[in-house]
Structure 1
Amino acid sequence: MSIELITVVALGLVFLIATVLPVHMGALAFVAAFVVGTAFVGEDTDDIVGGFPGDLFVILVGVTFLFAIAKGNGTVDRLVQLAVRAVGGRIALIPWVMFGVTAVLTAAGAVVPAAVAIIAPIGMGFALRYRINPMLMGLLIINGASAGGFSPISIFGSIVNGVVGRNGLPSNPGLLFVSSFMFNLVLSVVVFFLFGGRELLRRSAENTALGGGGRIAVAAEPATSVALGGGAVGHSRAATATGGNRGGGGRGGDTDAGATDGEPEHLPLERDHILTVLGLLFLAVGALAFGLDVGFTALTVAVVLSLISPTSAKAAVGQVAWPTVLLICGIVTFVALMERVGTIDWLGNMVSQIGAPLFAAILICLIGAVVSAFASTTGILGALIPLAVPFLLGGEIGPIGLIIALSISSSVVDSSPFSTSGALVVANSPTEQTDRVFRGLMIWGFSMCVVAPLLSWLIFVVPGWG
């Protein structure tokens, strides 16, 4: 067996084991890099560690550290309250508020499952209280997370743009973000009318609240703990993904959902909240307008906020998305090994020999969608884009269009209940509707495995973008 095939088999085993067993994919990838590198390639540990993505490490730590501070000092909760209060009694807008807030969180640097974990208990609580279809609420939350997930300062966006930049491919971070956002926005419009949105437009909160006098209650603190390590989270493990509290967010008045029967206390933004918002704006403007490094700028803002308010930032380091950091750094380190031994060129040449570039492009998107429906989207993005590099360098397919299509195909399927985001929605659904939501998300998620690659291929690849 050639060394190229050995590395491909090893990568496949990493994804397979992490999908069926509760073993962290990133740790598996590091072990695979060590075993394959030393036993089959003859490298030493210095060579293996040389493939560690230091730039991505700083970005992942910086943005998730900053977001942890924003969550810990109450900025996120206060912004959610303000957003929900702004819709007044128009309950048809509540799912869109959840879409918008989740998109803002991921665009600002929150890991997608973490953002869903924060908003899902709130949104599913509203869904029960105001008789909103839980599929509608859950899908808009997940789509919102994907919509913001590819901003230039987000986790997904940083991964894709970093991989593209290291491989010398043309990139357009702004177009990637706008394309992903618009795709998820249009998809959410379809979801809205498919799952009861038209009926919501005819109702008002005053005559639909369940025992709450028509007042919209704002969730304060979801009792959710995200498990990012295993890749897929199935039906039986959905409750585990939220700290064992199955359906806690879906019972209107439960403490876990944070919803109350009375009107929430509308408090003004305090000093720490204002400073945190200004810090996030500084990060966005600095990175987008002045080209400042996203990771170091985020760390700088986080450190300044920590100095100004040490108490509120004390626990933030422990809330950094370390599982995600381990995941993507492990995958990229193994992919770097594959690049050194020539596997990437070998696979790229195989794809190029298919003879039909457009068919090869949609095949790559389909692979990304199907695998991501069961495994980690961050891992897929870190692995599949490098595998497509030789194919893209051939010039027969626009690289920017294929990268956008692959990114959309791999992220939209997060609605599958076997992915972390989908499992979080299932776990926070009302107990009596859990099975229905699971089945609905399974049908929808698997349909997206075909629909998303096909649509994104038609929109971005066939016209030859980039």
Structure 2
Amino acid sequence: MSIHLIPLLVLVVVFLIATVRPVNMGALALVAAFVVGTAVAGEEATKILDGFPGDLFVILVGVTYLFAIAKRNGTVDWLVATAVRAVGGRVGLIPWVMFAVCAAITAAGAVSPAAVAIIAPIGLGFAARYRISPLLMGVMVVQGASAGSFSPIGIFGGIVNGVVDRAGLPGSPLVLFASTFTMNLLLAAAAFVLFGGRALLGRERVVLGAEAIEASRRATHPPVRPHSLVGTGPVRPAVERPGSDTGGVAGTDTAGQAGTEAPPRLGVEQIGTLVGLLGLVLGALVFDLNVGFVAVTVAVLLTLAYPQSSKDAINQVSWGAVLLIGGIVTYVALLERTGTIGWLGTSVAGIGAPLLAALLICLIGAVVSAFASTTGILGALIPLAVPFLASGTVGAVGLIAALSISASVVDSSPFSTNGALVVANSPEDGRDRVFRGLMAWGMALVVIAPLLSWGALVLPGWL
């Protein structure tokens, strides 16, 4: 048996055990990394721990800590209300707003995890308040971040186009951006349909601000219709529905249905938190500072400034999710150090059937990226495929775009940074469901994305 097959089989066993037994998969993966690393790879424990994602640990802890504070002091409620007003109270449009905002941020050059770290807690706060599926909101945020990342000035776009230029291969930044954006947009639309988005479109509008006050007054003192019959009871105030010409809106928000709500007020503490969140955005997107360290810094400063509302926020960090993600990523890092990932790519590139080899390269990119850094996979697999592409048997532009799609759309996997951020910021009572949903969605994309991108961009041979 090849030495590279043993770590892969162990990874399969880890997934099987975690599926049938109530044990944290990350803890299992750490045990597997220790056993395989020492017994098979001959590594010391300190070397194995080099693969632990310290940067991801700081991001997960820092962001969830900061937004736990923001939730406790009402700042998230104010941000959610602002988002509602921005779309005229139409709850069904909010997931698409989150998609568009994330796409715009990453298209402007922000790293994908930074955009998700900033937008996901806000989107998931909105989902919790208005009974929207957190799985739907999380997928929309992550696919939006992936959609913008391949712009000519985006991080992923810069990596891929740079590799292509250095290798002297034909490339098209426009095709790369258009194809990746279109695929993520289609996946977002599919998620919107599958995870309850259509039901949101039929929701009544939420009314905030001055309109809410007027609607509340009308609900308390409903108008009397002329010539109404005595004894017929009070006339119900009109409820405005999407596309309705009715002028009034009233109701309650007891079941996540839209209705009349008083707008959250901003106090000194909320303004201070907003300043801190603005500092996070500027630090991560403008000054290219580590988003995790910036988030921890802001959270600590807010705790020092407002200890009463912040003192228990650290307990809301999802430590189980942190262990899960840290363990899996540590094991995948072991696979990379032992050359298992490179061995897979080299074996596939040596296949005599070019189209089949192209499909398998896309599949490998999707599988590995679902558990590891998309940036690292793009930087590793495309150079690995350069000799294969240089032969001219498969169109370089099409395969590069298909590989980029395959390696990026799976970022919604809970084992990827973006998916992990969604899990960590989900409501505690539904976190397991979100994790399982993202795992099913991510694993489905591992198969579907390579097949679709290969079938559309490689098989026809038109690129």
Tell me the TM-score range normalised by the shorter chain.
Answer: 0.5 to 0.7
**Alpha-carbon spacing, 1:79–1:334, altered in 2? closer, same or farther (3 Å):** same
TM-score computed with the length of structure 1 as normaliser: 0.61
Q: CA deviation at 1:56?
A: 2.5
Instruction: Indicate yes or no: 2:351 matched with 1:354.
Output: yes
In the alignment, the residues of structure 2 paired with residue 199 and residue 311 of structure 1 have an alpha-carbon distance, to the nearest angstrom, of 37
Letter in 1 for 2:262: E
In the alignment, the residues of structure 2 paired with residue 145 and residue 334 of structure 1 have an alpha-carbon distance, to the nearest angstrom, of 27
In the alignment, the residues of structure 1 paired with residue 460 and residue 65 of structure 2 have an alpha-carbon distance, to the nearest angstrom, of 40
In the alignment, the residues of structure 2 paired with residue 310 and residue 347 of structure 1 have an alpha-carbon distance, to the nearest angstrom, of 52
Match of 2:318 among 321, 327, 336: 321
Q: Matches of residues 118-133 of structure 1 in structure 2 within 5 Å? A: 118-124=125-131
Instruction: Indicate yes or no: 2:59 matched with 1:59.
Output: yes
Equivalent in the alignment of 1:330: 327
Equivalent in the alignment of 1:146: 142
- Give the SS at the match of 2:341: helix
Q: Deviations over 1:260-300 (max 9, x none)?
A: 89622212223333333332232222222222222222222
Point out where structure 1 has 5 or more consecutive residues left out of the alignment: 126-136, 154-159, 219-252, 372-376, 429-440
More deviation, 261-270/343-352: 261-270
- Give the SS at the match of 2:40: helix
Q: CA deviation at 1:144?
A: 2.0
Letter in 1 for 2:9: V
Q: CA deviation at 1:25?
A: 1.9
**Alpha-carbon spacing, 1:284–1:207, altered in 2? closer, same or farther (3 Å):** closer
In the alignment, the residues of structure 2 paired with residue 383 and residue 190 of structure 1 have an alpha-carbon distance, to the nearest angstrom, of 22
Q: Matches of residues 397-408 of structure 1 in structure 2 within 5 Å? A: 401=401, 404-408=404-408
What is the root-mean-square deviation of aligned Cα atoms in Å?
Answer: 5.3
Point out where structure 2 has 5 or more consecutive residues left out of the alignment: 103-112, 150-154, 166-173, 207-238, 243-247, 390-395, 431-437
Q: CA deviation at 1:313?
A: 2.1
Instruction: Indicate yes or no: 2:312 matched with 1:312.
Output: no
In the alignment, the residues of structure 1 paired with residue 294 and residue 401 of structure 2 have an alpha-carbon distance, to the nearest angstrom, of 29
- Give the SS at the match of 2:56: helix
Equivalent in the alignment of 1:50: 50
- Give the SS at the match of 1:292: coil
Letter in 1 for 2:351: I
- Give the SS at the match of 2:250: coil
C-alpha contact (below 8 Å) 1:405/1:456 kept by paired residues = yes
C-alpha contact (below 8 Å) 1:147/1:180 kept by paired residues = no
Equivalent in the alignment of 1:132: none
Equivalent in the alignment of 2:222: none
Equivalent in the alignment of 1:8: 8
Instruction: Indicate yes or no: 2:34 matched with 1:38.
Output: no
Match of 2:283 among 286, 290, 315: 286
Letter in 2 for 1:347: L
Aligned length: 375
Q: CA deviation at 1:7?
A: 0.7
In the alignment, the residues of structure 2 paired with residue 77 and residue 307 of structure 1 have an alpha-carbon distance, to the nearest angstrom, of 22
Q: Deviations over 1:303-352 (max 9, x none)?
A: 22222222222222222232332223212221222233332222221122
In the alignment, the residues of structure 2 paired with residue 446 and residue 37 of structure 1 have an alpha-carbon distance, to the nearest angstrom, of 26
In the alignment, the residues of structure 1 paired with residue 121 and residue 137 of structure 2 have an alpha-carbon distance, to the nearest angstrom, of 12
In the alignment, the residues of structure 2 paired with residue 354 and residue 332 of structure 1 have an alpha-carbon distance, to the nearest angstrom, of 29
- Give the SS at the match of 1:10: helix
Q: Matches of residues 23-422 of structure 1 in structure 2 within 5 Å? A: 23-88=23-88, 93-101=90-98, 109-110=116-117, 118-124=125-131, 141-148=137-144, 150=146, 183-188=183-188, 206=239, 214-215=249-250, 217=252, 253-254=254-255, 259=256, 263-355=260-352, 359-363=356-360, 365-366=362-363, 380-382=371-373, 386=377, 389-390=380-381, 392-395=383-386, 396=389, 401=401, 404-411=404-411
In the alignment, the residues of structure 1 paired with residue 351 and residue 130 of structure 2 have an alpha-carbon distance, to the nearest angstrom, of 46
TM-score computed with the length of structure 2 as normaliser: 0.61
In the alignment, the residues of structure 2 paired with residue 400 and residue 69 of structure 1 have an alpha-carbon distance, to the nearest angstrom, of 43
In the alignment, the residues of structure 2 paired with residue 169 and residue 23 of structure 1 have an alpha-carbon distance, to the nearest angstrom, of 43
In the alignment, the residues of structure 1 paired with residue 282 and residue 457 of structure 2 have an alpha-carbon distance, to the nearest angstrom, of 28
Equivalent in the alignment of 1:131: none
**Alpha-carbon spacing, 1:294–1:111, altered in 2? closer, same or farther (3 Å):** closer
In the alignment, the residues of structure 2 paired with residue 339 and residue 283 of structure 1 have an alpha-carbon distance, to the nearest angstrom, of 32
Q: CA deviation at 1:199?
A: 12
Identity of aligned residues (%): 46
Equivalent in the alignment of 2:234: none
**Alpha-carbon spacing, 1:448–1:330, altered in 2? closer, same or farther (3 Å):** closer
In the alignment, the residues of structure 2 paired with residue 307 and residue 279 of structure 1 have an alpha-carbon distance, to the nearest angstrom, of 13
Greater Cα radius of gyration, structure 1 or 2: 2
C-alpha contact (below 8 Å) 1:366/1:453 kept by paired residues = yes
C-alpha contact (below 8 Å) 2:58/2:292 kept by paired residues = yes
Q: Deviations over 1:177-221 (max 9, x none)?
A: 998776544554577799996995999782559xxx843755xxx
Letter in 2 for 1:393: L
In the alignment, the residues of structure 2 paired with residue 311 and residue 151 of structure 1 have an alpha-carbon distance, to the nearest angstrom, of 40
In the alignment, the residues of structure 1 paired with residue 100 and residue 326 of structure 2 have an alpha-carbon distance, to the nearest angstrom, of 24
**Alpha-carbon spacing, 1:408–1:382, altered in 2? closer, same or farther (3 Å):** closer
**Alpha-carbon spacing, 1:112–1:26, altered in 2? closer, same or farther (3 Å):** farther
In the alignment, the residues of structure 1 paired with residue 200 and residue 123 of structure 2 have an alpha-carbon distance, to the nearest angstrom, of 25
